[in-house]
Amino acid sequence: VIADLAAAPADAPAGGPEFVVRMVKIAGDAELLDSRNKVAARGHAIDAEFEGINRLTTATVHGTRAALAQVYSEPYGIWGERIDMSGAAQTLKVAGASRLAFRSDRSLQGDRRGAPTAVVVTAQRRLEIDAPANKVLFEGDVVATSGEETLRSDTMTLLLEN
């Protein structure tokens, strides 16, 4: 683990930390928990930058083909060889093979269901999440499954309700 620490900013609340993390590089079995943003990441290596009082601004989670990088942000799970996150822009990008899993009370056709059902979407070229726009883009041999339903396409855009 390599970390860059700095004195807490002058506007830090009384009783707050004396030092804050600016940058961290973790090699080997790496985990990063950001309780403020409710994000957890796991991979072969993680590079992350912070600002203010330990506020995550960017992170790259590295995996391998055999052991994909993982990011969890309730209710979503994301897997890929390399996952790039931007806390400031509220975006997440995976170049190459990727997978997104979550539970939804809607079918793949948009019909309401009685109970949430698992949805898994895989893509071979790209996954991009734009949280402010509530949009997820998939490219390359996209397959979405939920219960008995399967959708296949070269590209797919999901519009999220919340």
70-93 tens-digit pLDDT = 999 888 999 999 999 998 789 999
- The number of beta carbons lying within 10 Å of the beta carbon of residue 127 is 28
Q: What local confidence, expressed as pLDDT, does residue 162 receive?
A: 62
Residue 106 bridge partners (DSSP):
112
Q: What local confidence, expressed as pLDDT, does residue 29 receive?
A: 92
34, 38, 42, 44, 105 from 85: Cα distances, Å = 12, 13, 13, 16, 27
Q: Say whether pLDDT at 115 is over 80.
A: yes
Is the pTM above the cut of 0.75? Answer: yes
91 vs 93: CA distance, rounded Å: 7
Beta strand 69-73 with 39-51: parallel, antiparallel or unpaired? antiparallel
> What is the overall mean pLDDT for the chain?
92
CA proximity to 68, closest of 127, 116, 143: 127
DSSP, collapsed to helix, strand or coil, labels residue 49 as: strand
Task: Give the mean pLDDT of 90-106.
Answer: 94
Task: Give the mean pLDDT of 41-56.
Answer: 91
Mean pLDDT lowest among 29-38, 40-49, 142-151: 29-38
